């Protein structure tokens, strides 16, 4: 983990209430897809943890949704604004377990961390399929970006207005794959867990206080004991997850 002051160089709307922000500066602490950053905002007590969407040598790109006062404030930030950011948080994904045909599943704001993962896997010449789940066609974002990487993209919408009608699990039933990576709300993760035919890595979304393991506010139970989603996660292997009854 490193504290950096990053500069906003892009802040644009992608879909209803969904925005893409590019932050330029020292991002060398971010080393794996699946990690996140934690942003301090003026006038707000807690930082905002947000997954990494994309990364290059001098910048990190995030995608966020304006759902509260803090993220609403983020939509007003203009190019040149400086932000206090904790970078390189979380454990990230283990690409060595992917096999030749990894399956990536993202639901809503679980889609963004799958992009950098797809980018890294395709660079390793893996055959990547990405199932991206949304409620309606109007909410779809970044599907074209996955296709440009070379991933096979399957869209699902709850109302059937685009792609497969239903959830990401409805689109994965007939697919062949070697490993699963997924991120999204807990009901989605649980459904993927119950339906996937291989091992997998599950990235959990959780409310966080500090974001680096000090407050213990995001602890969860696993087969090896309590783990902190912010530090020991957010990525957990399928075999270690214990679901609450």
The string of pLDDT tens digits covering residues 8-47 is 999 999 999 999 999 999 999 999 999 999 999 999 988 9
| Cα–Cα distance measured from residue 120 to residue 77, given in angstroms and rounded to the nearest whole number | 30
| Cα–Cα distance measured from residue 28 to residue 215, given in angstroms and rounded to the nearest whole number | 25
Give the per-residue pLDDT at 218: 72
| Cα–Cα distance measured from residue 230 to residue 204, given in angstroms and rounded to the nearest whole number | 9
Q: Is 7's pLDDT higher than 70?
A: yes
Alpha-helix residue ranges (DSSP H) falling in the chain: 69-74, 112-123, 143-149, 168-172, 186-195
Nearest-5° angle of CA 235, CA 241, CA 244?
Answer: 120
Q: What is the pLDDT of residues 119-177, one digit of tens each?
A: 999 999 999 999 999 999 999 999 999 999 999 999 999 999 999 999 999 999 999 99
End-to-end CA, the chain: 34
Give the per-residue pLDDT at 155: 98
Give the per-residue pLDDT at 203: 95
Six-digit token pair at 240?
A: 């270690």
Other beta carbons less than 10 A from residue 43's beta carbon: 7
Give the per-residue pLDDT at 217: 64
| pLDDT tier for residue 221 given thresholds of 50, 70 and 90 | confident
| Sign of the torsion formed by the C-alpha atoms of 200, 37, 208 and 227 | positive
| The residue to which tokens 């509260």 are assigned | 68
| Cα–Cα distance measured from residue 75 to residue 73, given in angstroms and rounded to the nearest whole number | 5
Q: Is 230's pLDDT higher than 90?
A: no
> Among 37-41, 78-82, 186-190, 207-211, where is mean pLDDT lowest?
207-211
Task: Using DSSP, state whether 233 is helix, strand or coil.
Answer: coil
The average pLDDT across 64-86 equals 97
| pLDDT tier for residue 215 given thresholds of 50, 70 and 90 | low
Instruction: Identify the bridge partners of residue 64 per DSSP, sorted by sequence position.
Output: 19
Rg (CA), the chain: 17
Give the per-residue pLDDT at 209: 64
What mean pLDDT, rounded, does the chain reach?
A: 94
| pLDDT tier for residue 6 given thresholds of 50, 70 and 90 | very high
| pLDDT tier for residue 208 given thresholds of 50, 70 and 90 | low
């Amino acid at each position: 983990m490193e504290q950096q002051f990053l500069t906003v160089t892009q802040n644009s709307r992608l879909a209803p209430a969904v925005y893409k922000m590019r932050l330029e500066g020292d991002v060398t602490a971010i080393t794996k897809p699946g990690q996140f950053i934690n942003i301090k905002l003026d006038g707000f007590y807690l930082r905002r943890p947000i997954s990494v969407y994309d990364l290059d040598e001098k910048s990190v790109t995030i995608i966020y949704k304006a759902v509260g006062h803090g993220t609403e404030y983020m939509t007003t930030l203009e190019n040149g604004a400086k932000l206090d950011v904790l970078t390189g948080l979380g454990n990230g994904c283990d690409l060595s377990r992917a096999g030749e045909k990894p399956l990536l599943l993202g639901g809503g704001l679980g889609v963004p961390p799958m992009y950098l993962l797809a980018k890294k896997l395709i660079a390793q010449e893996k055959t990547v399929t990405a199932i991206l789940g949304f409620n309606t066609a109007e909410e779809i974002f970044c599907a074209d970006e996955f296709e440009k990487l070379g991933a096979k993209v399957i869209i699902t919408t709850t109302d059937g207005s685009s792609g497969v009608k239903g959830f990401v699990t409805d689109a994965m039933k007939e697919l062949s794959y070697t490993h699963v990576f997924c991120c999204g709300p807990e009901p989605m993760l649980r459904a993927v867990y119950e339906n996937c035919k291989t091992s997998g890595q599950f990235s959990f979304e959780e409310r966080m206080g500090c974001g680096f393991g000090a407050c213990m506010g995001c602890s969860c139970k696993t087969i090896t004991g309590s783990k902190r989603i912010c530090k020991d996660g957010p990525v957990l292997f399928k075999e270690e997850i214990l679901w609450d009854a």
